[in-house]
């Protein structure tokens, strides 16, 4: 496997090294290519990402990505959106399930759902016009874009509890009527059980009855918002991993951002990044290694080794090392 490693900015530079150490502990035949991308690069060179960087990324099987800072500068184009679009990573997968020894702010622990977010269009189309007294952002919802993400959601549902909830705002936006129709047809023809909910009500239901959901499919911005909200169920922004999936390639990243409020303090929770490695391993077919990583994370957290976001006192590195120790001890005790 050829893997591009992008630390990015802020805590990306702190959590990705731990995730890479976890990967290294598994001794798999993985060739790593480090790529410098992000706001820090922009400050140094005037470019956040170059065509050459994109070419490098395109030549890899997959990407492990930390986080990048997006400054409020109208000239600055989000590199994350550029990568998702250029590499056509159309489905953003965000699993929401409890971890051992951690209770989120809602006190619930009987949920296990996954958000499948359309990742290349919607309000993130990048088609914008800014005038002196008005600004426009075009919301693009295409049949093709909706269908392929719906197909991914249904495929995932078949491997789970065969249930898809389509989240939209079609009472207000015609673009979402198209999204809803396409998702319904896809679920119907794939023999997947489905229902649909308006996004505002969904925010309420998801926080109140998370146990009701299996696969939640939605458009780009709604998926973004519902996923950070879902991190509250798990217990921290620092715990939620994600995968951006395309037809050939995929890239894996924590859901959180560069967290400037804690960057440099070496206390960022590396679990989201480490669980992103777990998703990467699973995507590539290293299923045993993927479950080993997940088990080790749960074992470590259950031992009470926690960063401050979880009420603990461990550093990023201490938590990362504890996961690696757990991996090593399980590898040593496994029969030949
Ligand atoms: P954020 O996700 O960076 O932080 C939100 C809150 O969660 C902060 O209080 C932060 O300290 C906390 N947090 C996040 N990750 C954590 C971790 N691993 N451990 C402990 N606490 C953690 O969101 P934000 O502050 O709105 O955004 C900061 C910057 O990151 C912005 O420039 C934004 O554009 C960018 N961003 C990038 C990505 C990405 O690269 N994938 C995602 C979201 C935001
Ligand atoms: C995420 C982030 C990004 C998004 C931003 C940084 C462009 O919030 O991955 O959730 O909105 O997709
Ligand atoms: Mn987000």
Q: What is the pLDDT of residue 335?
A: 57
Residue 220 CA: which ligand 2 atom is closest?
12
The mean pLDDT of 166-194, rounded to a whole number, is 98
CA 308 / ligand 2 centre spacing (Å): 24
Is residue 130 over pLDDT 60?
Answer: yes
The mean pLDDT of 6-30, rounded to a whole number, is 98
Please name every residue paired with 136 in a beta bridge, in sequence order, or none if there are none: 129
Is residue 109 over pLDDT 70?
Answer: yes
Q: With a 6 A CB cut-off, is 15 part of the ligand 2 pocket?
A: no
Give the burial string for 17-35 (b: 16+ CB within 10 Å, else e): bbbbbbbebbeeebeeeeb
CA 224 / ligand 2 centre spacing (Å): 6
Q: What is the pLDDT of residue 159?
A: 97
Residue 228 CA: which ligand 2 atom is closest?
10
DSSP strands (E only) in 98-207: 113-118, 128-130, 135-137, 163-168, 193-198
| Of residues 147, 161, 148, the one with CA closest to residue 114 | 161
Band of residue 333 on the pLDDT scale cut at 50, 70, 90: confident
Is residue 336 over pLDDT 80?
Answer: no
Q: How far is 140 from 292, CA to CA, in rounded Å?
A: 40
Q: How far is 88 from 67, CA to CA, in rounded Å?
A: 19
CA 220 / ligand 3 centre spacing (Å): 10
- For 20, phi and psi rounded to 5 degrees? -70, -40
| pLDDT above 70 as % of the chain | 99
Residue 94, helix vs strand vs coil: strand
Of 66-80, 154-168, 271-285, the range with the lowest mean pLDDT is: 66-80
Taking the alpha carbons of 250, 237, 113, 302 in that order, is the dihedral positive or negative? Answer: positive
Q: What is the pLDDT of residue 320?
A: 98
Nearest CA to ligand 1 atom 43: 257
Residue 12 CA: which ligand 1 atom is closest?
40
- Residue-averaged pLDDT of the chain: 96
Q: What is the pLDDT of residue 298?
A: 98
Is residue 226 over pLDDT 60?
Answer: yes
Residue from 69, 80, 137 whose mutation best tests the ligand 2 pocket (most atoms within 8 A of CB)? 80
Q: What is the pLDDT of residue 74?
A: 76
- From residue 182, alpha-carbon distances to 20, 143, 145, 166, 247 in Å are 39, 7, 10, 10, 19
The mean pLDDT of 302-329, rounded to a whole number, is 98
SS3 content of the chain, % helix, strand, coil (to 5): 45, 20, 35
Asked if residues 32 and 3 have their Cβ atoms less than 8 Å apart, the reply is yes
Q: With a 6 A CB cut-off, is 255 part of the ligand 2 pocket?
A: yes
Band of residue 331 on the pLDDT scale cut at 50, 70, 90: confident
Is residue 332 over pLDDT 90?
Answer: no
Nearest CA to ligand 2 atom 5: 80
Q: What is the pLDDT of residue 334?
A: 65
Q: What is the pLDDT of residue 123?
A: 97
Q: What is the pLDDT of residue 304?
A: 97
Nearest CA to ligand 1 atom 16: 238
Q: What is the pLDDT of residue 71?
A: 87
Asked if residues 162 and 195 have their Cβ atoms less than 8 Å apart, the reply is no
């Amino acid at each position: 496997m050829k893997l591009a490693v992008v630390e990015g900015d802020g805590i990306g530079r702190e959590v990705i090294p731990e995730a890479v150490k976890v990967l290294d502990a598994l001794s798999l035949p993985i060739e790593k290519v480090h790529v410098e991308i992000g706001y820090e690069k922009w400050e140094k060179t005037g470019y956040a990402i170059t065509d050459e960087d994109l070419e490098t990324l395109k030549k890899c099987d997959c990407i492990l990505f930390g986080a990048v800072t997006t400054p409020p500068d109208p000239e600055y184009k989000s590199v994350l959106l550029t990568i998702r679009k250029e590499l056509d990573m159309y489905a953003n997968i965000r699993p929401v399930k409890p971890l051992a020894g951690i209770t989120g702010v809602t006190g619930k622990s009987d949920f296990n759902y996954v958000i499948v977010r359309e990742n290349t269009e919607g309000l993130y189309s990048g088609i914008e016009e800014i005038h002196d007294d008005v600004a426009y952002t075009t919301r693009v919802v295409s049949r093709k874009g909706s269908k392929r993400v719906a197909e991914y959601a249904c495929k995932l549902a078949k491997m789970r509890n065969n249930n898809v909830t389509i989240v939209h705002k079609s009472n207000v936006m015609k673009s979402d009527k198209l999204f809803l129709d396409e998702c319904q047809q896809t679920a119907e023809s794939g023999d997947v059980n489905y229902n649909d909910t308006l996004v505002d009500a969904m925010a309420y239901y998801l926080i109140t009855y998370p146990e009701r959901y299996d696969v939640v499919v939605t458009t780009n911005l709604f998926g973004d918002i519902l996923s950070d909200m879902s991190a509250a169920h798990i217990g921290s922004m620092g715990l939620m991993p994600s995968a951006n999936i395309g037809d050939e390639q995929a890239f894996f990243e924590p859901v959180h951002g560069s967290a400037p409020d804690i960057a440099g303090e070496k206390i960022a929770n590396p679990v989201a990044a480490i669980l992103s490695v777990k998703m990467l391993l699973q995507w590539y077919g290293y299923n045993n290694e993927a479950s080993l990583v997940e088990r080790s994370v749960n074992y470590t957290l259950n031992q009470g080794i926690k960063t401050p976001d979880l009420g603990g006192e461990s550093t990023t590195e201490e938590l990362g090392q504890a996961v690696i120790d757990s991996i090593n001890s399980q590898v040593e005790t496994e029969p030949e």
